[in-house]
Structure 1
Amino acid sequence: MPEKKKILIRIGSLRHGGAEKVLVTFLKNLPEDQYEIDLLLNLYSGKYLPEVPDWINVVYINKGEMITTNRLQDIPKKAARVVYQKILKKFPDLLYKGKLQSKKYDIEFAAIHGMRDEILSSPVQSSKKIVWIHNDLSQVKGYTDAEIRKFFGFDKIMVISEKIEKLFLDLTKNENEKNKIVKIYNPLDTQEILTKAEMPVANYVFDPIVPTFVSVGTVFPQKGFDRLLKVHKKLLDEGFQHKILIIGDGYDFENIKKLKSELGLDETAIMLGFTDNPYPYFKNADFYILSSRYEGFPTVLFEAITLKKKIISTEVSGAREMLGNGALGLVVDNSEDGIYQGIKQALLQPETFAGYENRLKEYQMPFNLENSVSKITSILDEL
């Protein structure tokens, strides 16, 4: 029997984000007999930790929950973590000889773009290096063309949408660089989504008369929940009765909650925080809304499509691609006004969404779990 490939995978934590969910789904569907995997986390925390298969060796730099506040009592612990991680980043030999026990890896894998430098500065020079890009980096602060070009230090660059693929192809300088780029749709489990959607809804009562717009995501500025609340307020002031339901947690949670109260929306906009199973809320809501400022390939739209929801999405990377160029949902301008026009159309002319619903009924998903996993494993096997 051939020897198992030794693989190191790096990610910050397994908190409730799209990239984290996708990674864990991928790991759950890997054949155990072919790979020996060390999963190295900067912080041993996150909702997806219990889902990591037992055969995968989880290693971590720090332990404990993510510190998202700047409360006085948290600052020393937060600073200590940052310093420790910076030391290990600057002197990777310490990390590889210590926590990783001088293991020689065949492949080292950055599961998010933020792990680029950690993998490229690895002392294991013989390993093949892979990166998984989940974001449209042209929209991410600090990523100039020169910064993005550093990713060509990897042997393979996995991208998750046409827009990200084009961004990288436009920066290539030769055929070798072009061959490094491979587009793979995110591995997501449709059956799991459909099964979980049948569970009862907790902590929220859907109003049969007043339409509810649900939005699910990590509460970061990127997700545009501030824009969503401002639009909600404007439409209420114009007499359009509706409710907003935000599901998710993140470092911006308290800011968004404060904004909600300042705008006087505590009765009509609900923030439920994180839930292991958002799918019953998708299923029972009248509309799904994506208010993001930027994305890579919004996993959440895949979930909304799977559950045949009426969808409104800002024009972000992957939105048109996923929504069949606007055949499966309404794509609006990536602005507060775009979100306003989209929700207003849903409230004033709900019949305009009938076409999307009919097309969704017949729609077969081009990206499935099996295809994605086999495409990634073929890359691992070929390197």
Structure 2
Amino acid sequence: MKKKILIASFDMEVGGVERSLISMLENFNYDNYQVDLMLYRHQGDFMNLIPEQVNLLPEIPQYATFRKSINEVIKEKRYAIGTARLLSKLSVDFYNKKKKIAEPGYYQMQLMWKYALPFLPRLTGEYDAAISYLWPHDFVAEKVTATQKIAWIHTDFSTIETDIHMDIKIWDKCNNIVAVSDACKIAFINKYPVLNSKVEVIENITSPLFIKKMANENIANPMKNDKRFKIITVARLSHAKGIDNAVKALNKLKDKGLKDIAWYVVGYGGDEAMIKSLIKENHLEDSFILLGKQTNPYPFIKEADIYVQPSRYEGKAVTVTEAMILSKPILITNYSTARSQVNDNVDGVICELSIDGIATGIERLIESKGLREKLKNNLTQKEFSNRDELNKLYSLINKNIDRKVKQLEIV
């Protein structure tokens, strides 16, 4: 008999976490597992990539509110949830006046779930395992009936501001916590040492054949006819991804006389207006080019000379691995988990996490064709297919279910 699995996430908008979820679903063992997918809102360009074997549960209106503005929620007459959302915003605004937070959105989201939880319905049905694929994990922890509960972490928790006590209360209701890299696990345990015994590592599933096939798709691409040295970044336009630092780094390179460079960015996000203003302020309209949301970023990566990830922090960047699969020389900043993804000067280069560091790293790669060729050659010989990582998940699911059965037999 198939084991019944629930996987919960927010939506299928274009992003690294969503791409990793699609890769996992594409490689899942549907002979042994029945998979229900709970998306809080049925929206996003990746909706049509959900495999047909997956049972997409109907959208529940109360959960869909988390991807809507407070005004939209109030207009829908969901006053209790709207009040909870407003209270979380006001609480964070007040807290932020006393203690400045670089990215208050995480804490606000945490409070939003806490205040809204009493007004959210339980999910009907029972599962052998319920997986919460994106933080916060309140839905799976509080509103799902399952023999075991597994929570995924995709980011470096040492770099984000959250209420630790509130977090642990939710994490405690999960049997296991899955980190996407060893470094991500270490950073998490340093913040939550009491949860050490629950944390396992399962890397994001990658499909090199799919990525290489998609890279050859014929789409409108301004990079094709651009004869300049081309840099590509695929990232959300947010504080975490450091696109503002990328703009300033390109300006430094131009000031040093390296003018024949174009930096393309695939992505969208809340910092778009600020980044556009920064581009204009530095007179980089012709050389720092925002390509916006793209369902298929791989043809853009393929056309680039190098891939740069200017992030302030990461768990394990899906886009960096994808650029490696396409044998692009990689430059990433030295965020705390960087060395779990790149072997410096072997399959990529790690630079200082600063504007000067990014500029110096790019200059080095531009000037050293030999280094670029070395990185490319090493990447072509590297094995990226890792669907066997899913065996770790199956083992985790089966181990916990077997343990539960034994406990029932004893009783």
Measured against the shorter chain, the TM-score band is: 0.7 to 0.9
Out of 140-149 and 28-37, give the one that drifted further.
Answer: 140-149
Residue in 2 that maps onto 1:108: 130
Shift of 1:143: 5.5
Structure 1 residues 1-383: aligned runs within 5 Å: 2=1, 4-54=2-52, 55-62=54-61, 83=82, 89-91=116-118, 95-96=121-122, 100=123, 102-114=124-136, 116-122=137-143, 124=145, 127-142=147-162, 144=164, 147=167, 151-170=171-190, 177-206=195-224, 209-241=227-259, 242-365=261-384, 368-383=385-400
SS in 2 for 1:105: strand
- Is contact 2:168–2:192 with CA below 8 Å preserved after alignment? no
- Is contact 2:121–2:143 with CA below 8 Å preserved after alignment? no
Out of 140-149 and 40-49, give the one that drifted further.
Answer: 140-149
SS in 1 for 2:217: coil
Shift of 1:370: 1.9
Deviations 1:120-160 (A, max 9, x none): 22363x53110011001111122548846852442111111
Deviations 1:154-207 (A, max 9, x none): 211111111122134446767xx5442111110111110111112235230445
Distance 2:67 2:237 in 1: 14
Percent of residue pairs bearing the same amino acid type:
26
SS in 2 for 1:202: coil
Whichever residue aligns with residue 374 of structure 1, its letter is N
What is the total number of aligned residue pairs between the two structures? Answer: 367
Deviations 1:283-317 (A, max 9, x none): 11111000111110011111111111111111124
Distance 1:274 1:172 in 2: 35
Out of 289-298 and 146-155, give the one that drifted further.
Answer: 146-155
Deviations 1:297-338 (A, max 9, x none): 011111111111111111124432222244211101112121
- Is contact 1:9–1:110 with CA below 8 Å preserved after alignment? yes
SS in 2 for 1:215: strand
Whichever residue aligns with residue 150 of structure 2, its letter is I
Structure 1 residues 173 and 16, CA gap change in structure 2 (3 angstroms): closer
The gaps in structure 2 that reach 5 residues or longer are 86-111, 401-411
Q: Could you tell me the TM-score, scaled by structure 2's length? A: 0.80
- Is contact 1:39–1:59 with CA below 8 Å preserved after alignment? no
The gaps in structure 1 that reach 5 residues or longer are none
What is the CA RMSD across the aligned residues, in angstroms? 3.0
Distance 1:192 1:350 in 2: 29
Structure 1 residues 152 and 90, CA gap change in structure 2 (3 angstroms): closer
Structure 1 residues 178 and 278, CA gap change in structure 2 (3 angstroms): same
Out of 139-148 and 238-247, give the one that drifted further.
Answer: 139-148
SS in 2 for 1:289: strand
Structure 1 residues 76 and 149, CA gap change in structure 2 (3 angstroms): closer
Whichever residue aligns with residue 140 of structure 1, its letter is I
Distance 1:320 1:46 in 2: 32
Structure 1 residues 149 and 30, CA gap change in structure 2 (3 angstroms): same
Distance 1:106 1:24 in 2: 21
